[in-house]
Structure 1
Amino acid sequence: MAAGADRQQEAAVVIIGAGISGMCTAIDLIKRNNCRNFVIFEKSGGPGGTWRDNIYPGCCCDVWSHLYSYSFEQNSDWTREYPGQEEILDYLIGVAQKYELYRYIRFNTSVESAQWDDAEKKWKTAVKVTGSHDAEFGESYTLTSDFLVSAVGQLNVPQFPNIPGLDEFRGTTMHSARWDWSYNLEGKRIAVIGNGCSAAQIVPEIVKAASKLTVYQRTANWIVPRGDAPIPSFKRALYKYVPPIRWRSRADLMDIRESSYAAICDHHSRLAEMWMDLSKGLMKAQLPDKPELWDKLTPNYPVGCKRAIITDDYFPVFNQEHVSLETRPISKITEKGIEVDGKESDCDLIVLATGFRTVEFMHPIRITGSAGRSISDIWAKGGRALYGITVESLPNFGMLYGPNTNLGHNSIILMIEAQSKYICALVAEVLRARQAGKSLTITPKKEKLEEYNDELQKKLNTSTFAHPSCRSWYKNEEGVITNNWSGTVIEYQKMLERVRWTDYELSGNGADEVPETSLKIPRVVEETYISYTMLGLGIASILAVGAGWALRSSGRLRVR
């Protein structure tokens, strides 16, 4: 071990993951807690999380670009209304560079396990080094910390389908989240298994090169228009040099997205009916000569039960002669291709657009909490957490994008920022005790956690997410909705505006110094808070300053 490496085996805070959540938490630790004694473990070779892992053709975001950035680091330079993967990754890399996060990240380092030590009141996180970046620490080591933060998210471990013969196929198989760009698609016979968001982005791109393309669809999806377009340079300049315009635009976009919540939570709402009519109209307009496909491409469940797909170019693919849609179940995969009802179709490439292992939060990391309780025991009936952040029997632990915090209508970054601030408020108390030479453990009360989740599930069970006619990645095998939040972003943010210490069991010799009153955490208000009057005054003041500068400059010129 290199000299001085001993001190690198201990930190105040360990963050797992250097994606949007992990970076946000790190920045908040620096800005809000003045804490730099933390380590970020990242299994990949760079920051970006899911936007580094998913590099398939056509990969992009289904949230408007000006909503898909941190509120404190808004990007004026998005080139399109909906950002592509490369542009999002560039943005995240730029954020990591600006806030000097690279010094805290240990890349190519995967977390194997994390165990709470009841005696030391510390987390012991065991990692395996898969690259040379951390060679000075050895191939594996354990790091001790006062607080542990999971920022691994829900969309990071690929889900492979349970289809007989999948391993027997002699052609090429690739999952959408593990795309191999060295493979030449030109002239290939391609089968795409799955027709969700990833497939809807991949298919219109690879169809250009394929000699034959078959989409294997288990269930149809509701598809609504995307309306993507380039953002002209003059508009980008306005966003950059007249920030109130950017703020106003972002507020408008958030208002629109928040108002769409009714469409995905209540299938009896007028908005839900409008979305379904819009989807059917789009399909028939884009496939006017394919009425035989209309029934196959129309879902038998209400909009919102599964994530709606936002795209303009998926339906038109099926107008092409070399493209077919297969809705019968796959019997098995053979050495040469895919068999359906006893008939085999040969192919060169099978694309698995089958999503992620979403209900197994933090998989495959082995987490062990107080009294030796494993996460598999704690979550035997499905993942659950207090406010989606803190977990029973896991002291001094917080997670971002955890159970019941996913959205179907708005930007997840809006949720992540609220979670990050809340976690940093918990961390602040633990660090305060540490600095005083004392210890403090914070664990959610079981009765509070159960009360919160009972109310949450009661509301979710009346939503479209619970509709019996569809399967989705929002639910576990028992049908419990483990992934989605039950309300709007604003409702969630307001819930996290305060840390109520009565929600928690506080122990250790530093517990007596925690204030009895709840802790206020001012939220970032991003809905309509900049009125058009304010916007006009802001622009007027900028113009006035500009005019004054111009007059002074011209005056100086005349004197000369």
Structure 2
Amino acid sequence: MSNRSSYSETSNGARTHPDFKLGEFCIDEDRPMRVVVVGAGFSGIIAGIRFRQKMQNVDLTIYEKNAGVGGTWHSNKYPGLACDIPAHCYQLTFETKTDWSSFYAPGPEIRKYLEGVVDKYKLAPYLKLRHQLVHARYDEPSGRWLLRVRKTTITPEGEHTEEFDDAADFLFTGVGLISRWSWPEINGLKSFGGKLFHSANFDTGDQTWQEAAHEWSDKKVAVIGVGSSAIQIVPALQDKVKHLTNYVRGKTWLSTPFSGSKMAELAHRDPNTENYVFTEEDKKKFNDPEYYKHFRHDLEADVNSMHAATLRGSTMQEETRAAFKQSMQKKLAKKPWIADHLVPDFAVACRRLTPGPGYLEALCKDHVDFVTSHIKRITPTGIETADGKHTEFDIIICATGYDTSCQFEFPMIGRGGVLLQDKWRPHPETYLTICVDGFPNWFFSLGPNGCVGSGSLLIIMERQVAYAVQAAQKLQRERLKSIEAAPAAVRDFDQYLEHHFPKTVYSEQCRSWYKMGKDEGRVTGLYPGSSLHAVRALERPRWEDYTYERLDSVNRFYWLGDGQTYAEKTMTGDRKDFLFAWFDTGAWYLNDDEIDYPPVPEN
């Protein structure tokens, strides 16, 4: 808003402001900015690459609380850990891996892929491992985020922690919605005298789980849960222990392992497998760039084609439901009663869908039990169910999921001292899933409503990061103090979201982390649309949906600087060098990579 009384007129009638001065910088001389990224999983790694690629004069730091990169693929080490979407669709668009070992890649292979990306793009100098953000507050006078970071150092004498302060002009978090695991609320849980594990904290010391399992051949093991982790753990362990019991409270759909034309082609090559293992011949074909490009494109198109199945009453939903039910009943033919307790009444994809290779077959083994009776309590020697039956166990594995409350584990304070945890009660509201009103200069990936129930997740992460980079570029180029989603824009997006989900199967009654672990209510985990829809929504920022504060001047055109470009200002050398430099920079818009050649119409 302008204040007319603060302006004066010059002799020629022009208005001027007494506090305005031209900037002593060039229009393309970017101001220094400090960018802090929190998390070094997929999102944080992408951010580390893109902020460095797209911005100049940036001081970048990536804080990661774990001892290595990879996020969930670093912290999770449970038996059978694997990706539940095709491996060739679970990689970055710009960093191709052609030698995946299997259709659903094991966790360690994904982690190694991410470590390779970090090495290739030389992110190590920007990474601070074992550094955990413990407090964040937006400072309104400076327009910066004031951060408190806890550093953990491992020495021969033990673990040492210390805290220090940092500040950021721009904050990006890639910590995800389901990064904090929690023990189930079962009476007597901590009284158990045997080995007690959580799938998200499967600590076997210096051993891998495979090495530890060598000693379990005479053990009786209980696995509590029927989510994606339990569905991977049961088949991985069943042939390594004496007896295994799976305690299941709810129902879940297991998809057929190969859906879509490209996946069906793989199934045809080996009809007896549920997780196709790529042969050396396959990998040799993938070395052909054109062959691999078409293979990956077609496979990802298959993955992205399933959105219609998430719409209530759609033909694809009904066909998918019938196919999955038939597949599950067929695999459970040896113990058909399990299907009565496991095949859901709710729609396919109401809760997270997983292929679960080998899970149903494992349940049919003679030494595997499937128990649906409610767990009353855990005793020092085993588990007692509501029907009064007590079973002794040597090992109990809780595959019971994460904290899905959408609450950060550290205080995050925005304008006016507003605590994000309070603002996001009873549920979070965001702008396009990437930022929040009242919390300027902060963008995030995989936050509330930032995931997808079908389609490619990694392209969403890439586009969320790309959007954040554009916001940081705008701050830098226009020398703004803050950029912040307007409250009205957040309300409008929330209204759209609330009207979208009743059309989908996600709003049906089923317990899911999509709804903060509840049977029904607000959908907080998923984007309101397909993955392709999200890509389109995020590709062109609507800057009119934001409010801004200027950093240095009352004049909105202060960023124009001194009227020249950096190349013009800094050119030096003799005449020959001068002409060469001028050719290269004085008409850069004529360079081949700058010219936008329009296609010539054929008719």
| TM-score band, normalised by shorter chain | 0.7 to 0.9
User: Contact (CA 8 Å) 1:12, 1:431: kept in 2 or not?
Assistant: no
User: Contact (CA 8 Å) 1:359, 1:383: kept in 2 or not?
Assistant: no
The verdict on how the C-alpha distance between 1:297 and 1:116 changes in structure 2, with shifts beyond 3 A counting, is same
State the alpha-carbon separation in 2 of the partners of residues 185 and 461 from structure 1.
47
Does structure 1 residue 222 correspond to structure 2 residue 253? yes
Residue 138 of structure 1, CA deviation: 7.6
State the alpha-carbon separation in 1 of the partners of residues 450 and 88 from structure 2.
21
Aligned equivalent of 1:104: 126
The verdict on how the C-alpha distance between 1:247 and 1:336 changes in structure 2, with shifts beyond 3 A counting, is same
Residue 266 of structure 1, CA deviation: 1.9
Q: Give the counterpart letter for 1:228 in structure 2.
A: N
Counterpart pick for 1:479 among 498, 501, 521: 521
Pairs within 5 Å for 1:542-557: none
Aligned equivalent of 2:406: 360
State the alpha-carbon separation in 2 of the partners of residues 348 and 322 from structure 1.
15
Aligned equivalent of 2:218: 187
Q: Give the counterpart letter for 2:165 in structure 1.
A: T
Q: Give the counterpart letter for 1:493 in structure 2.
A: V
For the residue of structure 2 that corresponds to 1:41, the secondary structure is: strand
Residue 411 of structure 1, CA deviation: 2.5
State the alpha-carbon separation in 2 of the partners of residues 56 and 85 from structure 1.
9
The verdict on how the C-alpha distance between 1:384 and 1:246 changes in structure 2, with shifts beyond 3 A counting, is farther
Unaligned runs of 5+ in 1: 1-9, 516-560
Does structure 1 residue 350 correspond to structure 2 residue 396? yes
Aligned equivalent of 1:57: 79
Pairs within 5 Å for 1:17-416: 17-34=39-56, 36-132=58-154, 139-181=162-204, 182=207, 183=212, 184-226=215-257, 227-240=274-287, 242-263=288-309, 265-341=310-386, 342-361=388-407, 363-416=408-461
Residue 17 of structure 1, CA deviation: 0.3
Counterpart pick for 2:493 among 433, 452, 456: 452
State the alpha-carbon separation in 1 of the partners of residues 232 and 558 from structure 2.
50
CA RMSD of aligned residues (A): 2.1
| Length-normalised TM-score, structure 1 | 0.85
Does structure 1 residue 493 correspond to structure 2 residue 515? no
Deviates more, 1:76-85 or 1:65-74: 76-85
Aligned equivalent of 1:440: 481
The verdict on how the C-alpha distance between 1:290 and 1:380 changes in structure 2, with shifts beyond 3 A counting, is same
State the alpha-carbon separation in 1 of the partners of residues 557 and 45 from structure 2.
30
Identical aligned residues as a percent: 30
State the alpha-carbon separation in 2 of the partners of residues 412 and 452 from structure 1.
21
| Length-normalised TM-score, structure 2 | 0.79
The verdict on how the C-alpha distance between 1:267 and 1:501 changes in structure 2, with shifts beyond 3 A counting, is closer
Q: Deviations over 1:314-369 (max 9, x none)?
A: 111122222111111111111111111222211111111111113324x2121111
For the residue of structure 1 that corresponds to 2:229, the secondary structure is: helix
For the residue of structure 1 that corresponds to 2:477, the secondary structure is: helix
State the alpha-carbon separation in 1 of the partners of residues 67 and 558 from structure 2.
39
Q: Give the counterpart letter for 2:342 in structure 1.
A: L
For the residue of structure 2 that corresponds to 1:222, the secondary structure is: coil
Unaligned runs of 5+ in 2: 1-31, 258-273, 560-603
Q: Deviations over 1:219-276 (max 9, x none)?
A: 1111122242122223323323x3222222222122211211111x224222222222
The verdict on how the C-alpha distance between 1:255 and 1:35 changes in structure 2, with shifts beyond 3 A counting, is farther
User: Contact (CA 8 Å) 2:304, 2:456: kept in 1 or not?
Assistant: no
For the residue of structure 2 that corresponds to 1:228, the secondary structure is: coil
Residue 513 of structure 1, CA deviation: 4.4
Counterpart pick for 1:418 among 441, 452, 463: 463
Q: Deviations over 1:396-431 (max 9, x none)?
A: 000001111211212311100110100000111222
For the residue of structure 2 that corresponds to 1:152, the secondary structure is: coil
Give the number of equivalent residue pairs: 497
Task: Name the larger-Rg structure.
Answer: 2
Q: Give the counterpart letter for 1:296 in structure 2.
A: H
